[in-house]
Amino acid sequence: MNHNPVNWGRPSDDQYGPYNYQIANASNVASQATKNSQNEFPTMHTQQPMITGASVVAVKFNDGVVMATDKLGSYGSLLRLDDLERMIQVGDSTVVGVSGDISDFQYLQRLLDELLIEDNYDMEQSNLKASHVHEYLRGVFYNRRSKMNPLWNACVVAGFDADGEVFLKYVNLLGVSYSSPAIATGFGAYMGVPLLRQKVENEEDVKKLEKEDAIKLVRDCMKVLFYRDARSWDKYDLCVITKSTKKIEFQKGLECEGQSWKFARDISGYGLPQQ
């Protein structure tokens, strides 16, 4: 066993021969190898996201869901796009917040738009609820990852289910999905969720959280994420889904208010010590 962390997970050289770093140059074009050619690599698809969106933060309250996404599209560490909207409204029952690769997000956007058009073909009452959209996305993600060609996203689907109840569920590029009263993707899962869970640990707590408090809670999360996540941004969109009015309302272009960077002085352990 090689105890060097860099080599963890690698096939051992003793058994498989030295690792071929050329494999990174494998083509994404289907291999046209003949039987004899030894040096053909397997087909390779997406290995990393390109332009990315950061966290989606969402929490249930006693009459619905609040969800937020910031407006940044990062190209690595470059602030590439600063006016993105990463929440898609699908009909009158569903909002999907998407983080991860932006071109894959746009592809999802088109998929969901097509889904909506097909749902409206008969021009009768819509039957496409949040639970259906979630199930559909889960299928899309899982099928794609099973072809070793994932859509590089993590999504939060919020809205109303077939019974008109509030719905909030997560699904990501692997097809992994779960529901919880407080959900966040990306860095939000580490730094947002603990804050959300201080208020809503379980479904019981949801009944005690008012809409205004939920909005404040999510806005605080967005601020903390802006403080600590270098790929986040202080301008964001917020969406409030209300069960009693059956309404989905957006507040677009909000900013992190009341920022205070005093805490930054006390942070240590990164790079050169600040003097």
Binding site for other proteins (CB under 8 A): 110, 114, 117, 120-125, 127, 129, 131-132, 135-136, 139, 162
Considering beta carbons, is residue 139 or 253 the nearer one to other proteins? 139
Q: Which residues contact 146 (CB under 8 A, 6 or more apart)?
A: 175
**Alpha-carbon gap, residue 29 to 14, rounded angstroms:** 32
Q: To the nearest whole angstrom, how small is the minimum distance from the Cβ of residue 225 to other proteins?
A: 32
Q: To the nearest whole angstrom, how small is the minimum distance from the Cβ of residue 127 to other proteins?
A: 6
Q: To the nearest whole angstrom, how small is the minimum distance from the Cβ of residue 176 to other proteins?
A: 16
Considering beta carbons, is residue 98 or 115 the nearer one to other proteins? 115
| Nearest C-alpha neighbor of 179 from the set 170, 188, 190 | 170
Residue tagged active-site, from 46, 94, 185, 245: 46
Q: To the nearest whole angstrom, how small is the minimum distance from the Cβ of residue 41 to other proteins?
A: 30
Q: To the nearest whole angstrom, how small is the minimum distance from the Cβ of residue 155 to other proteins?
A: 16
∠ Cα 236 237 241 (to 5°): 145
Q: To the nearest whole angstrom, how small is the minimum distance from the Cβ of residue 129 to other proteins?
A: 8
Q: Is the dihedral of CA 195, 199, 202, 206 positive or negative?
A: negative
Q: If you search the block for the tokens 């494999």, which residue do you land on?
A: 23
Considering beta carbons, is residue 77 or 125 the nearer one to other proteins? 125
Residue 52 is among the residues annotated as catalytic for this protein: no
| Nearest C-alpha neighbor of 81 from the set 58, 105, 46 | 105
Residue 55 · residue 186 · CB < 8 Å? yes
Q: Name the E strands within the chain.
A: 51-53, 56-61, 64-70, 73-75, 78-81, 87-90, 94-101, 153-160, 166-172, 177-179, 182-184, 235-242, 247-255
Residue 38 · residue 49 · CB < 8 Å? no
Secondary element (H or E) of residue 116: helix 102-119
Considering beta carbons, is residue 136 or 227 the nearer one to other proteins? 136
What secondary structure does DSSP assign to 125-150, as a single string? S----HHHHHHHHHHHHHHHHHTT--
Amino acid at the residue 192:
G
CA distances from 135 to 41, 73, 203 (A): 35, 27, 22
Residues annotated as part of the active site: 46
